[in-house]
Amino acid sequence: MLTKNSSNYSIMNKRILTLGLASFLSVGCFAQVKPLIPNKDAMRFSKAINKDNAYKHLSVLASDAYEGRETGKKGAWMAADYIRDYFKSLGLKGPVDGSYFQKIDLVSYALSENMLTINGQPKVAYKDFVIASNAVGLKGFTFSSDDLIFAGYGVSNDSYNDYNGIDVAGKIVMIFVNGDPTKTLDPNDRRAMMMARSRKINYLAQNKAKAVILIDPALDNLSEERKAAYLSGQMVMKSKETVERMEKMNPFTSISISTATADEILKVGSTSVSAVQNKIADTKQPASQTINVAISASAMKKETPLRCENVLGFLEGSDPKLKKEVLVLTGHYDHIGITPEAPGADKINNGADDDGSGTTGVLLMAKAFTDAKKAGKGPKRSILFMTVVGEEKGLWGSDWYSEHPVFPIENTIADLNTDMIGRIGEKYLGKPDSANYIYSVGSKMLSSELGRLSEQVNATYTKMILDYKYDDPKDTQRIYYRSDHYNFAKLGIPIIFYYDGMLEQDYHQPGDEVSKINFPLLAKRAQLTYYTAWELANGAKRPAVDLDGKGNPKK
């Protein structure tokens, strides 16, 4: 699941519920719903969805060998190959001109050359300085100046202002990347540190500085892993929207330098990094100054295509009239890869729960439905099993499919999305029902029939707690918008997003390991998805879109 609330999509104004009604609807009780007549065939083939089969897949996909499955890198390619081979072994068809891969136009923009000189002396890239490719516009940059402004910590607030009396417009400004003399930041809180850094850079960009030079002690002993991360470049999915946005962008240029390089510059101003830090700490006053040093820098970008694909397996429906209608079952197989700066020896973000568990659920359902078809009990409608890539980068894979659908959008009846279904979230830890719940997200946003069917299926087969917490319009985490189902919902396709609520422990950390997965619970949640899919694929009618996307009746 995405690291933070996505800003790439418009915010939908969800229905307003009274506090009492919201509380009542937060948990669905299966006892209040009239069950369906159990389908013996559905129950028979559900046996393929079990904890042992789940472990078989997830122990491979979330192993260290897959290196955290980062989009555009080796581990993701290995995962894509594994899923393709499994789909093929089941007898699913490759629906993309005979292929199981839907290619995504992914490129990397890396620096083909970069340069920094101080008083005419060239500095060494990835030793004395670093220019990140995402801090350079598509056309690159070049600048030179006979002086720069040193502005301490780059802090500007009511009690302390490094820019007091200073006009930064058109200037090169040098600041400490970390630190704030007005507050103490936890260096282990990477989110807080990044937000503080962004505020400093945004201030300079908004005040029309030419560029910022960041004094970053992390460069003093740059590891080979971190150097490789800089050299790997900036990944970009070249959708129409992205290309148009990048062509208009002119990112504010930032250059990071080592402490030694900063000392070389500050020496001209008769000070040093340690001296100015001590002075600010002692006086509680800024120590900003203009330094008359000749500085020049430039960087150019090079575009390199990267391998990237959604993996699709197609099961054709058995009913001549209904098989043109398609149910989509999704889960994202990518994760965030390797984090060189992660504390401890383990640097691999295995992504067992996020979203190895959901991907595993899709594979288990593919097995159950293909078993049914081989026994002459295949679904009436067609099913597209789709594991998507790039979710962690910004819902890339599902966004690409929404712009380049393999099957007509008007024939797509629903999307059931499994993203994190293998663990127990904080709300349920230690409770009697801890291993018998799932967050059901979005089932009642576009189709009252789909929401009702979901509850009937659960009351008939799995009898889990359906928690609707994240359908609340007051949800500050905006979970409804943060996984691949949303790229179907925005097209008016009914969705259900199944999610365990596990944002508290090991989320996007190396600790998201296979050893922490509750496999019986993963299998049960996948069975709920499967039974819902069975009813959708075999029902007399597709679920009507009778709600406006906010849970209100259509006008």
In Å, what is the CA distance from 474 to each residue of 427, 478, 500?
Answer: 18, 8, 19
pLDDT the model gives residue 429:
87
d(CA 141, CA 402): 35
pLDDT the model gives residue 544:
97
Q: Radius of gyration (Cα) for the chain, nearest Å?
A: 27
User: Encoding tokens for residue 371?
Assistant: 């078993």
Q: Specify whether 324 is located in the same domain as 213.
A: no
Q: Specify whether 189 is located in the same domain as 241.
A: yes
In this prediction, residues 496-509 reach a mean pLDDT of 94
Q: Is residue 154 part of a domain?
A: yes
Total-model pTM = 0.84
Q: Amino acid letter at 23?
A: S
Q: CB within 8 A of 165, min separation 6: which ones? A: none
> How many structural domains are present in the chain?
2
pLDDT in tens, 241-297: 777 776 676 678 999 999 999 999 999 999 999 999 999 999 999 999 999 999 999
CATH number of the domain at 377, please: 3.40.630.10
Q: Specify whether 221 is located in the same domain as 291.
A: yes
Q: Specify whether 135 is located in the same domain as 148.
A: yes
Residue 53 has pLDDT above 90, yes or no: yes
pLDDT the model gives residue 190:
76
Q: Specify whether 265 is located in the same domain as 406.
A: no
Q: Specify whether 312 is located in the same domain as 298.
A: no
d(CA 358, CA 525): 10
Q: Specify whether 213 is located in the same domain as 278.
A: yes
Q: Is residue 478 part of a domain?
A: no
Q: Which residue has the tokens 């499919």?
A: 401
In this prediction, residues 481-496 reach a mean pLDDT of 98
Q: Specify whether 237 is located in the same domain as 332.
A: no
Kindly indicate the confidence band of residue 134, based on its pLDDT and cuts at 50, 70 and 90. Answer: confident
Q: Is residue 545 part of a domain?
A: no
CATH number of the domain at 233, please: 3.50.30
d(CA 45, CA 39): 10
Q: CB within 8 A of 158, min separation 6: which ones? A: none
Alpha helices in 8-73 (DSSP H): 19-25, 40-45, 51-61
8 A C-beta contact, residue 332 and residue 419: yes
φ/ψ bin of 376: left (φ > 0), alpha (ψ from -120 to 50), beta (otherwise): left
Q: Specify whether 98 is located in the same domain as 117.
A: no
d(CA 278, CA 259): 15
Q: Specify whether 299 is located in the same domain as 345.
A: no
Instruction: Name the strand (E) or helix (H) holding 190.
Output: helix 190-206
Kindly indicate the confidence band of residue 1, based on its pLDDT and cuts at 50, 70 and 90. Answer: confident
Q: Is residue 483 part of a domain?
A: no
Q: Amino acid letter at 453?
A: L
**Beta strand residue intervals within 91-225, DSSP E:** 101-103, 106-118, 121-122, 129-130, 141-145, 148-150, 172-176, 211-215
Domain ranges, residue 242:
108-305
pLDDT the model gives residue 203:
95
Domain-terminating residue out of 277, 305, 333: 305
225 versus 469: the higher-pLDDT residue is 469
Angle at 405 (CA atoms; ends 401, 410), nearest 5 degrees: 125
Q: Specify whether 299 is located in the same domain as 318.
A: no
Q: Is residue 460 part of a domain?
A: no
Q: Is residue 19 part of a domain?
A: no
Q: Which residues on adjacent β-strands are paired with residue 301?
A: 111
Kindly indicate the confidence band of residue 542, based on its pLDDT and cuts at 50, 70 and 90. Answer: very high
Q: Specify whether 160 is located in the same domain as 273.
A: yes
Q: Is residue 555 part of a domain?
A: no
Closest CA to 220 of 119, 130, 345, 121: 130
φ/ψ bin of 290: left (φ > 0), alpha (ψ from -120 to 50), beta (otherwise): beta
pLDDT the model gives residue 20:
34
Tell me whether strands 295-306 and 106-118 are parallel, antiparallel or unpaired. antiparallel
